[in-house]
Structure 1
Amino acid sequence: MRARQLLILLCGLMLSLQAAAEIVLRDDGGTEHRLAAPPQRIVSLLPSLTETVCALGAGTRLVGVDRYSNWPASVSALPQLGGLEDAQVERIVSLKPDVILAAKSARVIERLRSLGQRVVILESQTHADVRRTLTLLARLLGTPGAAEAVWSGIEKDVVAAASRVPPSLRGQKVYFEVAPDPYAAGAGSFIGETLARLGMDNAVPRELGPFPKLNPEYIVRAQPDVVMASDRALRSMPGRPGWQALRALPRRACGFDTAHYELLIRPGPRMGEAARALADCLVGLERSGEGVR
């Protein structure tokens, strides 16, 4: 009798330990995931998620990434599996991932799930989203304490960047272009929130959404004080119909090379570094004599 009770007790203890070790999380698509152990083979189909996995110390678990993932440099050696529109399903499946990380907009999600793949959907448009994604991924990876360390580093860098913004530029309106259609980073986006932390205003109000597509005339009417965009987009702006009337062009504008522009538009662990790049832009304007109008 005593042996039977001991067996029951041991079985109960094993079940309790198994339940405690189980990872349970709900992704941004509303799907609940239950994993018996942290994934050891990960495919990431979004650069910001690739960067987050690496920042959380799990870069060696990546077995494949999308074609745009390029930081840290070590991920360039991994199989590149396409992008949001053309992810290579057969190659992804052949890598036998434990989990696939993807954005809501990835077209292959249902196809991958129909093939028995676990797809975790993560979407970050605001600072709060980025912090939540960090926390969720850290739990998924079995390293929950790592998230707060990464977030603290971001916060420290943003505060330091804000202290460098010239007083003459604080409160001025920024138009930050994320695509030449034009799509802008509004006040409600993670980019807009970083600009606000730096003491800047936004030419695109929060009510228009995080990344609205705008009528080109809207920007001309808004007359931003400062324009920020990729080098290539900035060079094209004077040739756009009506944009010759933008008083910020060309002297009160910052064009970012590819590496810095990618840094700015990725909602991930390098947002503190992005804040420093934005501050550098504003300091440069002040030094060139364009800080006061």
Structure 2
Amino acid sequence: MAKWINTLLLLLMLPVAALAATAPRVITLAPHLTELAFAAGITPVAVSAYSDYPADARQIEQVANWQGINIERILALKPDVVLAWRGGNLQRQITQLQALGLNIVWIDPQTIDAVIAAIRQLEPWSNNPQLAQQHADRLQARFTALRQRYAQSQRKTVFLQFGLQPLFTTSQATLQNQIVQLCGGDNIFADSQVPWPQVSREQVLMRHPQAIVIAGDAGKITAVKQFWQPQLAVPVVAINDDWFSRAGPRIILAAEQLCAALQH
């Protein structure tokens, strides 16, 4: 009897073992790509530095950082697909991986719609395509709800501030600008010819923003206010840095946080 039960248990476990053995091998080369992969039901075999969400990502081998990627290790892991980011991965190294026969998929969402589309795009490499669809559908529903709720909001001019010295901001060609627009804000440097321009204190003051948005926690607000005194005394809104700076699923959390604060 015991032998029969053990045999039955072994047979039941075979499909699970087979699934694990045939799971697509995915490598992500940026933190937001790691988040997108997990949202699509994918557990990568390797990730980049700073891939810290979800918590399971912290236990995965890292094969890339700001200095570049470990080509030898990536080849040894024999991935089915490598997810790359044009904004952070060296084109030369990615081209080398392609020349060696690896399948490269570039993912660089510049809008919330593109973030949602990226999750759906990853379904072919997911063990749980239904989970990918569910995550994408939920993000779409939350995005639609925000658009409807804040469509008639009173517009406010906004300075998107990154850093103090030097000062950087963003143009209309970025995901962060879209979030500000969604929440009833008008980016004072939307018309910049480059996506991430460096600006001066005088340029900001001349455009008279009604609010300042920064990436980080509330502890940074005091320093920002002191920097602009006495010429500019406007509300400063701090948005969770990882939510706001990464083009991943948590971008919707940044949008919800900003909309609530900006229209308070």
Q: Does 1:79 align with 2:61?
A: yes
Q: Does 1:66 align with 2:51?
A: no
Q: How does 1:1-293 map to 2 (within 5 A)?
A: 40-59=24-43, 62-105=44-87, 106-107=89-90, 108-141=93-126, 146-160=131-145, 170-178=154-162, 181-205=166-190, 207-208=191-192, 211-216=195-200, 217-231=202-216, 237=224, 243-244=228-229, 247-248=232-233, 252-256=235-239, 260-282=240-262, 286=264
TM-score (norm 2): 0.74
Offset from partner CA, 1:235-278 (integer Å, 9 cap, x none): 664676xx5465245xx10234xxx2111111121222122221
Name structure 2 gaps, 5 residues minimum. Answer: 1-21
Letter in 2 for 1:254: V
Question: Post-superposition shift, 1:91?
Answer: 2.5
In 2 relative to 1, CA 69–110 (structure 1 residues): closer, same or farther, beyond 3 Å?
same
Aligned partners of 1:135 and 1:149: how far apart in 2? Answer: 10
Question: Post-superposition shift, 1:42?
Answer: 1.0
Letter in 1 for 2:157: K
Aligned partners of 2:59 and 2:35: how far apart in 1? Answer: 14
Question: Post-superposition shift, 1:103?
Answer: 0.7
In 2 relative to 1, CA 230–190 (structure 1 residues): closer, same or farther, beyond 3 Å?
closer
Aligned partners of 2:170 and 2:206: how far apart in 1? Answer: 17
In 2 relative to 1, CA 176–239 (structure 1 residues): closer, same or farther, beyond 3 Å?
same
SS in structure 1 opposite 2:53?
coil
Question: Post-superposition shift, 1:39?
Answer: 6.3
Question: Post-superposition shift, 1:146?
Answer: 4.8
Letter in 2 for 1:268: G
Letter in 2 for 1:253: V
Aligned partners of 1:274 and 1:135: how far apart in 2? Answer: 21
Question: Post-superposition shift, 1:104?
Answer: 1.6
Aligned partners of 1:113 and 1:188: how far apart in 2? Answer: 28
SS in structure 2 opposite 1:82?
strand
TM-score (norm 1): 0.68
Between the two proteins, what is the percent identity of the paired residues? 23
Aligned partners of 2:99 and 2:167: how far apart in 1? Answer: 36
Letter in 1 for 2:53: W
Conserved 8 A contact 1:39-1:98: no
Aligned partners of 1:195 and 1:148: how far apart in 2? Answer: 27
Aligned partners of 1:246 and 1:188: how far apart in 2? Answer: 29
Aligned partners of 2:220 and 2:68: how far apart in 1? Answer: 25
Conserved 8 A contact 1:178-1:265: no
Letter in 1 for 2:96: R
1:13 paired residue number: none
Aligned partners of 1:147 and 1:185: how far apart in 2? Answer: 30
RMSD over equivalenced CA pairs, Å? 3.1
**Aligned positions, number:** 235
Conserved 8 A contact 2:180-2:186: yes
SS in structure 2 opposite 1:176?
strand
Conserved 8 A contact 1:39-1:99: no
